[in-house]
Amino acid sequence: INTYHMVKSLSWFDDAENEPWPVLRMPLEWENIKSRFLEIQRELFPLLG
């Protein structure tokens, strides 16, 4: 498993952005979801060494 590529893939949104928005049980905004993934990515990159 290439951990770097796994973390990098957290910012790959092209596929998701081309799909219809799903029916959700709670209200969520796509921009907030993307922001959270990018935040997690920023937290993980320094740990890769």
1-49 pLDDT per residue, tens? 899 999 999 999 999 999 999 999 999 999 999 999 999 999 999 999 8
Look at residue 1 and tell me if it is in a domain.
yes
Tokens of 21: 């928005």
Dihedral Cα 32, 34, 36, 40, nearest 10 deg: -170
Look at residue 46 and tell me if it is in a domain.
yes
Look at residue 21 and tell me if it is in a domain.
no
Tokens of 9: 């893939």
**Can you list the pairs that 37-43 forms with residues at least 24 positions away whose Cβ atoms lie under 8 Å?**
37/10, 37/11, 37/13, 38/10, 38/11, 40/10, 41/7, 41/8, 41/10, 41/11
Look at residue 38 and tell me if it is in a domain.
yes
Look at residue 15 and tell me if it is in a domain.
no
The pLDDT assigned to 47 comes to 93
Look at residue 40 and tell me if it is in a domain.
yes
Look at residue 47 and tell me if it is in a domain.
yes
Provide the domain limits for residue 43.
1-8+28-49
Is pTM beyond 0.85? Reply is: no
